[in-house]
Amino acid sequence: MPDFDLKRRTLLQAAGAAAAVGTVTGTIAGTGPAHAAAPVAAPASEPTEPPRSRVSISHVTESVDDGSSMVVVGEGFSSSSEVWLFKLPKDTKDAAKASLGQPSALPARPPTGAVKAAIVNGTRPQALIVGHIGYPTPAADLSVFPTAVWVRDGDDWSPPYVVNRAGIFFLETDLVVPGETIRVFGRNLLPNYVFRGTDYDYPIALRKVGGGAVHWAQLYDGEGQTRPNYKPYVAQIRMPEDLPDGEYDLSLHGRFGLADGWSNAVRLLVRAKRTLVNRLARHDLTDQVGAPGGRPRTEVVKISEGASYDDNWRRIQDRLDAVGRRGGGIVRLPSGPIAIGRTLRVPDGVVLEGSGRGATRLTTPLDVPFQGTFPVGNLFPSPAFRRGFAGDYTPYWAPHQPLVWLEGGSGVSDLAIQAGSRNFTAVLIGNSDPEKVLADAFVKRVDITVRTTTYAFQSGFSPTNGGIHVVSPTARLVISDCVVDAHEPISMYAGRHAHHHAMIVRNSFSSHQRQDSNIGMIMGWSDSVFEDNELYSGGRGLISQMNMTRVYLCGNRIHEIGGRGNASEVLMAEAGDVGEEVTVTGATGTTVRTSSALPAGAARATSTELYAWVAEGRGFGQYRRIVDNDGNGTLTLDRPWRTVPDTTSKIDIIFSPAVNNLWLNNVYSNGRGYLQPFYGGGFDNVIAGNELRSAGGLSIWSGFKKTGFARRSVGAYNLIYNNMLTGSDALNLYGGDAGTEDVPGGLFANTVRRNQLWSRGSATQTNQYYNIWFSRRDQADPELEGSINLRRCDSTVVEANYIFQDRNGVLARGGKNNVVRYNRMDRVENRILRQEDPRGLVATAPPFENPY
């Protein structure tokens, strides 16, 4: 395989000499240098929007390397607008620390040393596609640096906007002990290679909530970290050994820009001691278990050799109950087969532990029918404004018979569970109180086999024959090092509260290749990790509904996925629909008054997160999480607006879009379906370093329109970067059916960069747009598919990708204000195709006959 990066850099360096400064006409004007001299620096001012700034920046897409394009979204732009950029200067560690909590020092206008950016496309007035510093030649080391952005229109300047600063999505856990090492997930964490040797250190502040005292954590990443697509998104940090108990706000500095280099803050709870269950759950996931908690109480169950297949439920349950009454501990089972005739209930604070998953095997009696019943009642019912929560599945749970039930903060480990062909669930995690969050429950080193001999036809919503089923909200749930072979190996249902800080790692999940056999269905989860798992032989891979925000999906190995219908997707967030389209009557920094009819408290009533997307008018292109609402149309937001909406604004209230998720370094092979990060809507997700071999393609879908609604669901500011598809289907961005409306909908301001596509060929030679999704076989035309397909996309950047051996390279079908440039294509006959009037498309590629 050729040295792709070397070839591409040579190509882009040669092409870069032709780049120039442009105006907002959608064309490159002139052949001079890409940057011009900066104006005289203006006096410093805090970068907050004036009461009514005519020119303002609402959002700028993040870069992945210097020399890339970015989309600047805002107000007051015209055909004569200019964009100015200034790299923030490098800081010493002490200077960066001293800047914590200080106001921004950025001036109101660009200082000396700022450069005027090349405007690549400006067909859409509120979205300028501009070249970053160094455009169009990418940096060899993939570094990015915090950069201030200003837009000038006539005599008016926007307040500065800082792009590529460190941003924290979430922490691996919300509960730590002093001295513990944890991971931080986000963007632009340790994003450059400037700091080396003894200088390789970044300030990490822990400011105590309420008290103001600041403690400093230690960066624990090694210099020259080699794991690909990891360094910008993950940082390991060690807590101070002397950190007092309490709540803290953690933030990180990237060593550039003083006060403008600090990330957002994330809340963290510190405790000197852990509970027993938390200690055992985190035991092999951390290097620090906290202060000694005493030797755990352990009760050993004795079973005579001849009684293995008798009903041993009573003697085990009595021990579990006794240990629970004494405050918790471990109940250990002997090796060998152990039959139980009823559901084992593991109380809060108790761990059921075998003698090893190859030694202890729980099963059902030979001659006595299993008498288990589904023990959890009062599952969270769906409110009128949103369906799909756990209570809706109550009829399907009624016949269920769990073998082991974790009813609280309890665990099961080091054994095998084997059941037959009835409606069995191996491990049930849940409680009859919808308000209760089950903290620290775990399933570790457990082998599960739950097979069936018959299936109900199209029983897609029947959670039968399950491996691990979770029906109540959880905190810090751990499922690790398990092998699960079941009709549905793992299911987690949405409730009043989200599943947060779950760790699902190093497991092997397998199922059956049919439509209703999901490898996993996880609903309503946030701030969680799904890492280094194996998923194989199922109708669909991991599917998420009802909410998936701030989840790290990395290093998973997926193969042999393909059912009899649907699209056999893997690692998909299926949500993000528009719940309401509302008008605006007024707004402040963190509130907006609208025509919303949502009942009071709807934003915090369920595990579903609600977001406000400014779809039209002033403040277009901003999204904010709605943290509360008063029932009279006033929405309270998680952070201030940069450009405050007004009565010209229209807002879409979006239910559970995929937000701030990281799909990194997953490998998918020999499957029919697509790696489908989201289907519906999503914001600021990163899809990088994934490898697909002889499988479906990689696809994000949005742009769905409900009857009676004016606008479409939206997916914006997502990054598809450095993925490799070999002998697989296409890289698809599907922004909805063709339409003539000029309001951006579907997919907006996404970036497709540095991907490699080798010898496209779907495993089933099907066209996803029609054959799989809508069965419109009469409209399917494989001749009109390319290796990269843009359907009704808006302000999308497709740059520096490599395509080898396909009839068609990049297809642009409809949409507006897109850029397709500096992509290399070898053995590709039709390098750029246009259909359905792709308005304002800036696309360049030499013809097939000409070499690069």
d(CA 345, CA 423): 18
The one-letter amino acid at 466 = G
The pLDDT value recorded for residue 831 is 93
Q: 687 pLDDT exceeds 90?
A: yes
Average pLDDT over residues 48-61: 78
Query: What's the whole-number mean pLDDT along residues 602-624?
Result: 95
| The pLDDT of residue 230 | 80
Asked if 74 contacts 621 with a C-beta cutoff of 8 angstroms, the reply is yes
Reported as a single tens digit per residue, the pLDDT across 402-443 is: 999 999 999 999 999 998 767 789 999 999 998 899 999 999
547: left (phi over 0), alpha (psi -120 to 50) or beta: left
Task: Answer yes or no: is pLDDT of 746 > 90.
Answer: no
Q: What integer is the mean pLDDT of 300-311?
A: 88
Tell me the Cα Rg of the chain: 27
Considering the entire predicted model, what is its pTM?
0.92
CATH for the stretch 4-163: 2.60.40.10
Which CATH architecture group holds 167-272? Answer: Sandwich (2.60)
Looking at residue 373, its pLDDT comes to: 82
Choose between 32 and 279: higher pLDDT: 279
For the cut 80, the answer to whether the pLDDT of residue 51 exceeds it is no
SS (H, E, C) 738-803: CCCCCCCCEEECCEEECCEEECCCCCCCCCHHHHHCCCCCCCCCHHHCCCEEEECEECCEEECCEE
Pairing of the two strands 824-835 and 802-813: parallel
> Right CATH number for 298-566 from 3.90.550.10, 2.40.170.20, 2.160.20.10, 3.40.50.150?
2.160.20.10
Note the pLDDT tens digit of each residue in 657-666.
999 999 999 9
Fold classification of 659-843 (topology level):
Pectate Lyase C-like (2.160.20)
Mean pLDDT of the chain: 85
**What is the tens place of the pLDDT at every residue in 340-393?**
999 999 999 999 999 998 899 999 988 888 888 888 888 898 998 888 898 888
Q: Residue 197: what pLDDT?
A: 63
Do residues 435 and 459 make contact, with C-beta atoms less than 8 angstroms apart? Answer: no
Task: For residue 210, give the nearest of 259, 178, 248, 236 by alpha carbon.
Answer: 248
Q: What is the pLDDT of residues 792-826, one digit of tens each?
A: 899 999 999 999 999 999 999 888 999 999 999 99
Q: What pLDDT shows up at residue 39?
A: 36
Left if phi > 0, otherwise alpha if psi is -120 to 50, otherwise beta: which for 795? left
Contact 396, 463 (CB under 8 A): yes
